[in-house]
Structure 1
Amino acid sequence: MRMRPTLSWTPTDDVLPGTTDLKQVTEALGGGRVLVLSGAGISTESGIPDYRGEGGSLSRHTPMTYQDFTAGTRARRRYWARSHLGWRTFGRARPNAGHQAVAAFGRHGLLSGVITQNVDGLHQAAGSEDVVDLHGSLSRVVCLSCGAFSPRRELAQRLEEANAGFDPVAAGVNPDGDADLNDEQVEDFKVLPCTACGGVLKPDVVFFGESVPPPRVELCHDLVRTSASLLVLGSSLTVMSGLRFVRQAARAGKPVLIVNRDPTRGDRHAVTRVALPLGSALTAVADRLGVPLDGQAEPAR
């Protein structure tokens, strides 16, 4: 799968009309073995913007591609300066009612798993266990030379020390943790190498133009196979990385249910699309099922 930084799908006659009826979502969760697939829309209520929704960041921001990142030092300087500033915002983000509801459904044995396209760690911070980070996590860093992994917080501390006084004003922060800064604001930023071998460091996330690791994809296929239904939360399903699991579930005759305000590329495969804010919708479902949202929310970092 190749992720692309452009919106390659627009709504057609294949979309479902949005509904406010939560009955089918409630029944599916009540039956158990529901696989959750979440996208950027579930984190908007935590202050992290969506890519494609109303005011989505793709209208003003082109995500870094793997090819650009590995091509030269200038692109890496721009990425790390912007990402370092964005990391501060991500570190302050807390799970919202949507994340807490998913965690509560898991604690009560209603879920078969959680796959997230997000890199913010908010599902785990809300208490969800065994989450598959389809596109990786901003909380880890990998060296492209020696393959060593390290915590992002350690690199953040090193970057703080190497770039004392770096505190530009950003126009916004994007779902990939990239803050909106111009070239002048990042030109003096110091990029640091791997402490083990001096190689190039990269966040352990799947950039646009990069493939999701095959073992991770197969794990997700296994989760679809063992689930009774698939519940999509806050994803436009524009890129194939998530859409393929929707198609797999539909081919197997498993109900696909979507909670997303806007039409999605997976609507043709779904039995319903609930066009409500995720936090209030999932809280209402939890209330109907008698599932208390009693988890302790921790910072994403």
Structure 2
Amino acid sequence: MRLSVPNIPPAILASAALRNDPIVSPSEAVQRISSFLSSGRTAVLTGAGVSVDSGVKAYRGKDGRYMHPDYKPIFYQELIEDSLRGHSFRQRYWLRAYIGFLPVRRTFPNSTHYALAALQHVGVVGPLITQNVDGLHRAALRRVLTEPEIDRRILELHGSIFKVHCQHGHVYPRAVFQDWLGQANPRWREFLAELERTGTQPKTNPDGDVVLDDSVSYDDFVVPKCPSCDAEGRRNSIIKPDFVFFGESISQEVKDRSYRTVEVADRLFVLGTTLATYSAFRLLKHALELRKPVLLLNVGPTRADGLPGVDKLEIPTGVVMTDVVHTIVGTRAHNDPALRDILLSDVVKEVVEQAV
């Protein structure tokens, strides 16, 4: 079976190159989004575009094309292959991911994450489905909700980078596994410590690993075995991040929950995604089949361009979403302490960063 990175169909990209879509002003966009969100129960679907302002790399550029044509990610079948070849793939993945996890731990929510958290807090929007594995929607909602409440409000369609699991279902925090990797590979632990001391960072790829020099050998990198499997008398070093790899399917449970989220809502608000991944695109299609209004906010072509029933605004989410919240909630933005705290969070972070 031939596997490839999901992309927008070439016909849509070609059509987009010929179109001159009207540019909407921020003020008009704010009014249209506010009107849409105020008209009924809204489900939200987000993609990589909402995290770009946090420094997280997107898969595709403003032209809708994959930005890393020469980069060959490791596919699910390669990572879990129980063979010497599979072990080599895991060595390559975990060495690069070990280095790449450093900037992930330093990433913070941006104004779009906080705006959506604020809208969830006041009940304007309901459940949020995200394709992102960066945990930033969760981090924003932690300002006002407990973890069990967040679990009910957010569905991470493709999983989370902050957990790992073995093939027998044992789950560990990613930070714990990071420490195991360092203990098993003291030379690379020193390399990572040097990166932290100097503040340097190799180029990071979309799936969280980094570009290392061609001279780097992965042969001596040790991938820790699962300690729970060890205690049960099994030797198992097939451990993967708790997110969906290219070539891997989402679970039936997650798929069913994502469909239910769309079905119980009155409308669907889609932000920062080209919808190149079918697991997300089919949710938009499902909303259209149920005759629910859909508003799509994205810069550049998407897989849904030209579909009847999709109202699209070409504008970055960070330009408008905070103003959308203020337009909808009015004076409550100042009178509600929790709401005020959410809306000021990104501003406070920027001030701290500038001071540093």
TM-score between the two structures when normalised by the length of structure 1: 0.90
What is the 5 A alignment of 1:56-95? 57-71=67-81, 72-95=86-109
Instruction: Report the AA paired with residue 46 of structure 1.
Output: S
2:334 matched to 1:278? no
Q: 1:210: Cα distance to partner?
A: 0.6
Question: Which residue of structure 2 lines up, in the alignment, with residue 219 of structure 1?
Answer: 257
The structure that has the greater radius of gyration is 2
Question: Which residue of structure 2 lines up, in the alignment, with residue 135 of structure 1?
Answer: 158
For structure 1, the residue ranges without an aligned partner over 5 or more in a row are none
Q: Deviations over 1:78-111 (max 9, x none)?
A: 1111111111111110000011111011001011
For structure 2, the residue ranges without an aligned partner over 5 or more in a row are 143-149, 230-234, 334-339, 350-356
Question: Which residue of structure 2 lines up, in the alignment, with residue 45 of structure 1?
Answer: 53
2:8–2:302 Cα contact (<8 Å) kept: no
Question: How many aligned residue pairs are there?
Answer: 297
What is the 5 A alignment of 1:1-301? 4-10=4-10, 11-13=13-15, 17=21, 19-20=23-24, 21-22=28-29, 23-54=31-62, 57-71=67-81, 72-127=86-141, 129=150, 130-144=153-167, 146-164=168-186, 165-167=190-192, 171-185=202-216, 187=218, 188-197=220-229, 198-199=235-236, 200-269=238-307, 270-290=309-329, 292=333, 294-295=341-342, 296=345
1:142–1:201 Cα contact (<8 Å) kept: yes
2:6–2:277 Cα contact (<8 Å) kept: no
Instruction: Report the AA paired with residue 205 of structure 2.
Output: N
- CA shift in 2, pair 1:12/1:110, >3 Å: farther
Q: How many Å separate the matches in 2 of 1:48 and 1:147?
A: 29
Q: How many Å separate the matches in 1 of 2:21 and 2:293?
A: 17
Instruction: Report the AA paired with residue 5 of structure 1.
Output: V
Q: 1:60: Cα distance to partner?
A: 4.2
Q: CA RMSD in A?
A: 2.5
Q: Deviations over 1:176-228 (max 9, x none)?
A: 21222245335243211111114211111111101110110010100000111
SS of 1:37's equivalent? Answer: strand
Instruction: Name the structure with the higher helix share.
Output: 2
- CA shift in 2, pair 1:88/1:220, >3 Å: same
Bigger relative contact order, structure 1 or 2 (CA pairs below 8 A, ≥6 apart): 1
TM-score between the two structures when normalised by the length of structure 2: 0.77
1:7–1:238 Cα contact (<8 Å) kept: yes
1:39–1:234 Cα contact (<8 Å) kept: yes
1:3–1:210 Cα contact (<8 Å) kept: no
Q: 1:61: Cα distance to partner?
A: 2.4
